[in-house]
Amino acid sequence: MKFDIMLGGMTWQESSHLAVQLEDAGFSGMLFTETGLTPWMQIAAAAMAAPKLEFSTGIAVAFPRSPMIAAQIAWELAQNTEGRFRLGLGSQVKGHVVRRYSALFDKPAPQMRDYVGAVQACLRAFRGEERLNHEGPYYNLNYLPGQWAPPRHDYEDVKVDISAVGPHMCRLAGELCDGIHVHPMHSMPYIHNRLLPEVAAGAGVAGRDPKEIDLIVPVFAVVGDTPESRAKMLQRAKTQIAFYGSTPNYAFQFDDLGFPGTTQALGQLMKQGDVRGMAELITDEMLDHFALVSTWDDMADQLRARYDGIAARVVTYLTAEDLRYNPENMSRWGEIARAVSANASG
């Protein structure tokens, strides 16, 4: 099990500077989300500064970007990081894809199936395994003259992962992908009772071993030796969980745990703009399911106890923000990173 940090938009200089610190501290890798900035240049800057770290997108928005362009970027990053990059794709929600990107958003699972298939067809063509000829309901690619194909290199096994919450995407990940980005708002009952069985079902369709599919798991790790020192991070965790939990498609997460009606209540408060009220709806009992709250000395053990043998990589959701305000905590996060990476079996 490897220990990564989740990051949003940074300048190239910030990315490279942080990468050096993280590598020295003992982190395994950096996972970049795509929000206001694209992740590619940040990854390139970090990779040049930290030659041992691994990099991933978690996630890059798929549908507004041609599958050929996604495959070319991944191919180039795989070469220049010497195999230390994996491509994480996600559908985003319809409002962003249609209104912000002016791109097609149809039925997300079938569209993602075709998108992943198209990306993988491009990668096979780049490797010289077959002529490019992908014909699907959404994407058609059949033209790759030799002078336009990217050059071959020594790191051509580019891993392609997708984010997934519901059963259709989870089965798709099991059938076609190298890994699955678990949603940050998850409980272990959800992983055991919903996600893993669907991944296994998809793997079965393709004749794959479900253990071949890596679980990349973001974690709300709230750490501090006193309630006072944890208070700010705890409030951030509750606020973010409440934000995610207001999405109707995630209502089952609360329902399965015996908290029916929570999503509806959160949605009402969101309409009123009551962010504090939303966070207050996330009880300590809910937090026990969706976050890990611990002292510094116990956090590595808590992460291993929950995720060892399940996650290939754990990704700390709140660490970047903590380091922004408390840079002196880098060494303590590094101790956790080294302990998780050294002692976990998964």
- Domains for the chain: give ranges and CATH numbers: 58-219 (3.20.20.30)
Helix locations, 127-187, DSSP H:
167-176
According to DSSP, residue 100 is labeled: I
Check residue 343 and give its pLDDT: 56
45-67 CB burial, b ≥16 within 10 A, e <16: bbbebbeebbbbbbbbbbbbbbb
The two structure tokens encoding residue 318: 């709140």
What DSSP state is assigned to residue 60? E
The mean pLDDT of 121-142, rounded to a whole number, is 98
How far is the C-alpha of 249 from the C-alpha of 244, rounded, in Å?
A: 10
Residue pLDDT, tens place only, 44-64: 999 999 999 999 999 999 999
The CB-side HSE value for 211 (13 A sphere, CA atoms) comes to 2
**Residue holding tokens 């965790």?**
237
pLDDT at 345 over 90: no
- What whole-number distance in Å separates Cα of residue 332 and Cα of residue 103? 43
For the segment 278-325, what is each residue's pLDDT rounded down to a tens digit? 999 999 999 999 999 999 999 999 999 999 999 999 999 999 999 999
* pLDDT mean over 248-256: 94
Q: Could you give the CA distance from residue 346 to residue 331 in angstroms, rounded to a whole number?
A: 24
For the chain, the C-alpha Rg in angstroms (whole number) is: 20
* pLDDT per position as a tens digit, 262-289: 999 999 999 999 999 999 999 999 999 9
Task: Write the CA distances from 292 to 11, 185, 192, integer angstroms.
Answer: 30, 12, 17
